[in-house]
């Protein structure tokens, strides 16, 4: 009898018994876990970059003297309040102690640090963000 034919028949039998599918199942579980992790982690990163862009814009307007007041009353909100309101619009909770503002004659640095809790099956994870916006 041909030994190559026996080896081929053993491979066919193994596939029919389901032994060859464990690698495929493992790959699907791993792909699903990575997809779930991306689903939970991507939104805070997107909000982080949106907040950074918004605060860069606020810094530019403040240095230009335009300010962030949209009402015609002439009263400008405090820069810290403006930062907190921008974050609140995006669903990010900021406190005054999370914001540090440095002003010079031609530059404004807005330093913000905050964390976002993410619920994962293994527990709660705190994603920490720390950035400085400037003009």
- Provide the angle, in degrees to the nearest 10, between the axes of the packed helices 79-89 and 22-64: 150
Cβ–Cβ under 8 Å, residues 114 and 94:
yes
**Whole-structure pTM value:** 0.70
Higher-pLDDT residue of 69 and 62 is 62
Distance CA 65, CA 21 (A): 66
80: closest CA among 61, 92, 94, 90?
94
pLDDT in tens, 67-121: 654 444 444 568 888 899 999 999 898 888 999 998 887 888 999 999 999 998 8
């Amino acid at each position: 009898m041909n030994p190559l034919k026996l080896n081929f028949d053993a491979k066919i039998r193994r596939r029919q018994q389901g032994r060859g599918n464990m690698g495929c199942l493992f790959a699907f579980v791993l792909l699903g876990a990575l997809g779930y992790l991306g689903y939970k982690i991507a939104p805070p990163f997107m909000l982080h970059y949106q907040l950074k862009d918004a605060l860069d814009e606020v810094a530019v307007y403040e240095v230009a003297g335009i300010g962030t007041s949209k009402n015609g009353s002439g009263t400008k909100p405090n820069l810290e309040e403006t930062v907190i309101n921008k974050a609140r619009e995006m669903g990010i909770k900021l406190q005054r102690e999370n914001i540090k503002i440095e002003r010079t004659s031609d530059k404004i640095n807005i330093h913000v640090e905050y964390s976002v809790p993410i619920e994962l099956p293994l527990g709660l994870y705190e994603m920490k963000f720390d950035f400085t916006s400037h003009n």
